[in-house]
Amino acid sequence: MSLYIFKVPDLGEGTVTSEIVAWHVRVGDMVAEDAPLVEMATEKAVVEVTAPVSGRIVALHGELGDSVAVGSQLVVFETESAASPSAAPAVSAESVTASAGAALTAAPLVAASSGRVRASPATRRRARETGVNLAAVMGTGPGGRIEAHDLVAAVGAPGTESPAQISGPAPGTQEIKVLGVRRVIANRLSESARTIPHFAYVEEVDVTLLEGVRQRLNASASSGAAPLTYLPFIVAALARALGQYPQCNAQYDAERNVIVRHSAVHVGIATQTPDGLKVPVVRHAETLGVRALATEIARIADSARRGTCTRAELTGSTITVTSLGKLGGIASTPIINLPEVAIIGVNKALDRPMVVNGAVVIRRMMNLSSSFDHRFVDGYDGAALIQALKALLEQPEQLLPLDV
């Protein structure tokens, strides 16, 4: 018998840490090679990590919500024989008794006060919120690490405070840990709102002619073709309009203090999924026609909702379009998708009475609500981009040569 130490793998894109979202195993479980072990979140996706070997789980390192470094210990297996060389090497049980063996039930409790307090950021935060002195808590984790259940066990112990809330949420409330994609969304949106001086610009667009073109093209579409909504027309028009306003098709590299302008238009499509908001990317939208855009938007949105998008499909957007469809409301103030400098929000289309050539007529109207990073996009340029977009959407025949 030997112990096999599995370390946090590199999940790609230069990831240096990953967040533990869900454990699929417990200490004592027997697992087969390639069986699901844990779900780990990067900034762009949640990745399922599988077992590199078959064996019994003798130690797990990390709690839900912990951010763990690539290369740090994650799982310790007890195996029948040496593991494959593609992962971490197997070691003898004696050589890891002091580290992994500390997690076994036979190990004595270690007083946290005997040295540096070992606890995850989540456990430390919980202790602060509940007023528990971690230095007086006995840790049962590896090397005396204080686990979440140790806080509960510490209630009433000398030197600790024991507020009622440590035992669980108050009656009538529900506590939901912020993990994975939702945590990434929260952090990124907070950073965007905190660091970017947004300015908003809302304009109404007469889409009466566009609605006629859309219905005509849908009626003539081949069987199985993606239905044409307003979105592919908006993306096609945006890709064309950005040629005049490259300062809006850009990303800000804060580390180098450089604005990177792009000739290619990679449009992020904000998509609601069961896991939260994701932004899959339509690449080179400037080369695609309306029908091709409809097909690609449908494909990546469906992939995002099913959780099958690759990391490449969720990165690299140069500008984002966000639409709530029929829930689009009258106006909105979308938050910019870092590191971009602009986002276009699409509100719902409604038939409204409008004055045209001195007469009141019914027209189909839709508002575009945009936000720009005022550090790098002047108000005039942001407004001019939306006016160019409006002009293309109100004369949709200009977009039809792109219908390939």
Beta-sheet pairing, 267-273 with 258-261: unpaired
CA 347 to chain centre: 23
Does residue 302 have an active-site annotation?
no
65 phi, psi to nearest 5 deg: 90, -15
Long-range contacts (CB closer than 8 Å, 24 or more residues apart) made by 209-218: 209/394, 209/395, 209/396, 210/393, 210/394, 210/396, 211/349, 211/364, 213/396, 213/397, 213/400, 217/290, 217/291, 217/403
Does residue 378 have an active-site annotation?
yes
Instruction: Using alpha carbons, select from 362, 382, 363 the residue that is nearest to residue 372.
Output: 382
Q: Which residues contact 327 (CB under 8 A, 6 or more apart)?
A: 348
Q: Which of 24, 198, 262, 374 is catalytic?
A: 374
Q: Which of 10, 34, 302, 378 is catalytic?
A: 378
Instruction: Using alpha carbons, select from 53, 55, 57 the residue that is nearest to residue 27.
Output: 57
Q: What tokens appear for 219 in the block?
A: 């009626």
Report d(CA 79, CA 55) in Å as an integer: 5
Report d(CA 88, CA 55) in Å as an integer: 14
Computed on alpha carbons and rounded to an integer, the radius of gyration of the chain in Å comes to: 27
Q: Which residues contact 102 (CB under 8 A, 6 or more apart)?
A: 110, 141, 142, 143, 144
Report d(CA 335, CA 322) in Å as an integer: 10
Tell me how crowded residue 172 is: count the other CB atoms within 10 A of its CB: 5
* Strand partners of residue 62: none
Residues serving a catalytic function are: 374, 378
